[in-house]
A and B are shown apart, each in its own frame.
Chain A
């Protein structure tokens, strides 16, 4: 079954089984490997993308549910050749270590800052629940506040 999804601003027809998680359609069908597989049960957030501006864990989001939606992945967060303010802060504060969780972390933070442009630490704690095994949390927090201040 083919579904039509606007991905990073481009209408794409994706022909996969309808129960296929959006994650695997992005990675294996569309070649957008910036979105990562971590757990497959929406626990870790490595697969976070924006669906109509909302952060969604794409490993449990059936591709059929994205029909007609606008999906943004890490590759399309900023126009080609430029960086989103969150990505810029991630470079400035040298946030990533292994970096594997950071696509999802950045997408979650981008959505979060859209809703809370000047978040408190408590709001950050409650909303940013992605797992980072390298332990970059201190820098994630610092970088979120840095974006909020600009």
Chain B
């Protein structure tokens, strides 16, 4: 029961902030609402007893990515972004709404009609132990994930170098 109440609160926060995020015309407000969405999703992970995933979500997304957005908005320029009131074309809004509604109906139909739902386990609320996660993350056996771990470290290094190379000032 408590879980259901928490889920409803989180769902209202996530969906309300997401709708405000895509409809507000000010970019700074959109970034702030994105922060609320990310906190709500972290709360969902805590609700699913994936505490580590929730902590990673908060520290990487809410701490890192949102900061990056704020810096980019402040850097990209006064005239353009900070007081920006974006003109949104009506035809595009209608097209986007229709596409989103059609896709939503299709996806909900597929998700709610499949037979996975009957397999939903009614397991007790127990936190996934950090010990198990750590062994699975850096183990090299079957169902262990050291190879993607190494790949993503290389990928992050490549992205750091790529970001620096792209964003650096060109010498005249």
A and B bind: no
Residues of A with Cβ closer than 8 Å to B? none
Residues of B with Cβ closer than 8 Å to A? none
